[in-house]
Amino acid sequence: MTHTSLPFPDGFLWGASTAAHQIEGNNVNSDWWRKEHDPAAGIHEPSLDACDSYHRWEQDMDLLAHLGFTDYRFSVEWARVEPAPGAFSRAEIAHYRRMVDGALARGLRPMVTLHHFTVPQWFEDRGGWTADGAVELFARYVEHCAPIIADGVRHVCTINEPNMIAVMAGLAKRGEQGFPPAGLPFPDEETTHAVIAAHHAAVKAVRAANPDIQVGWTIANQVYQALPGAEEVTAAYRHPREDVFIEAARGDDFLGVQSYTRTKIGPDGPVPAPQDAERTLTQWEYYPAAVGHALRHTADVIGRDMPLIVTENGIATGDDSRRVDYYTGALAAVAAAIEDGIDVRGYLAWSALDNYEWGSYAATFGLIAVDRVTFERTPRPSAAWLGGLGRTRELPRDAS
């Protein structure tokens, strides 16, 4: 077996990511909780207890640290911190502060996301992101997160995948059901503007909490690949779904890159992967090289002086050997991007745990399996392997 040395710079973030609603359980004041219990929403199954990480976060962090990871990205749940407008819960703020301290005590550097898809139900009821005052309300929440992040937190993500928020808002406004067979629905432009404004306000609030914090946001990258002759169509398709959000990161301290698969675009738009293509449990084409393309595209749009962090990358599979294979290909692509001069500062796998994949538990992304009844955690072989790479930095290559 030969090896490739991973060319990670000093201080490289090496970790795994989660999000509050997907792992904590009983996020009862959130918009998603209500949606999950509304038969008209057509959601396959509700999140209920999720992984019970609200109570078991110490065990999760113990496992990650033990596996060899040095970084953990998790999110703060707005619906818990501000369960009613203007009513901030000291106990919940203290809870998330304990998580930060708990991570640090275990040698895990916390990367804290302030918004990961869910909003408080009251915020949704007053019209969500496009209602008057929404940006100010988000900024006020971020200000109240100061005790959580002001000390010991190096990286803060304001809003996770704002482009997907705008895409989902577009779907909802048009009353459309579900996603097209390939590509993404058109994002709602009003929501795009609102989340960009919210991000900019949040960046200010985070810097006011502590100017040493590296603050940014994390963009979903679909790796749009132009078929011959479709270069312009592809650029026009991608711009409102991706580039607008990358461009809005100018002035931030880093940009989070999240990718899983690719989407081919022909002269008439997105083209589904062939029937016989390998697919993951999310039905996405198995394409480990995606992250390399995502990093390169992001650097092309924002400029090479913007530090990039892979804040999510991974695979939903029932076959852990495919997970190892996916991460092997993905890390080879990250290494190649670094060697080509792209400033990549970290890699965080999605996900630490099998969790609630927005409507279903079927898509198992976890490095650590979670028993749905007992909540028992069982690290998969891929978890020890990936965690260990942070130390050895030797990526195995096929001897063939």
Residues that bind ligand NOJ (CB under 6 A): 19, 22, 160-161, 258, 312, 350, 357
Q: How far apart are CA 296 and CA 342, in angstroms?
A: 7
User: What would the two tokens of residue 224 be?
Assistant: 């749009």
The single residue of 161, 285, 312, 357 carrying the catalytic annotation is 312
| C-beta closer to ligand NOJ: residue 50 or 67 | 50
| C-beta closer to ligand NOJ: residue 130 or 282 | 282
Closest CB 18 distance from ligand NOJ, rounded Å: 9
The SS3 assignment for 213 reads coil
Q: How far apart are CA 64 and CA 135, in angstroms?
A: 35
| C-beta closer to ligand NOJ: residue 237 or 358 | 358
Q: Is 275 exposed, middle or buried (0-12, 13-18, 19+ CB in 10 A)?
A: exposed
Q: How far apart are CA 321 and CA 199, in angstroms?
A: 38
Q: CB of 223 within 8 A of CB of 182?
A: no
Closest CB 120 distance from ligand NOJ, rounded Å: 18
SS3 content of the chain, % helix, strand, coil (to 5): 40, 20, 40
Active site residue 247: no
Q: CB of 81 within 8 A of CB of 118?
A: no
| C-beta closer to ligand NOJ: residue 121 or 258 | 258
Q: Is 182 exposed, middle or buried (0-12, 13-18, 19+ CB in 10 A)?
A: middle
| C-beta closer to ligand NOJ: residue 8 or 286 | 286
Closest CB 86 distance from ligand NOJ, rounded Å: 28
User: What would the two tokens of residue 50 be?
Assistant: 């999720």
Closest CB 91 distance from ligand NOJ, rounded Å: 26
| C-beta closer to ligand NOJ: residue 22 or 30 | 22
Tell me the backbone φ, ψ of residue 221, rounded to 5 degrees: -115, 120
One-letter amino acid identity for 71? D
Closest CB 220 distance from ligand NOJ, rounded Å: 6
Closest CB 398 distance from ligand NOJ, rounded Å: 28
Residue 282: in which H helix or E strand, if any? Answer: none
Q: CB of 298 within 8 A of CB of 221?
A: yes
What's the distance, Cα to Cα, between the start and end of the chain in Å?
Answer: 8
Catalytic positions, written as ranges: 312
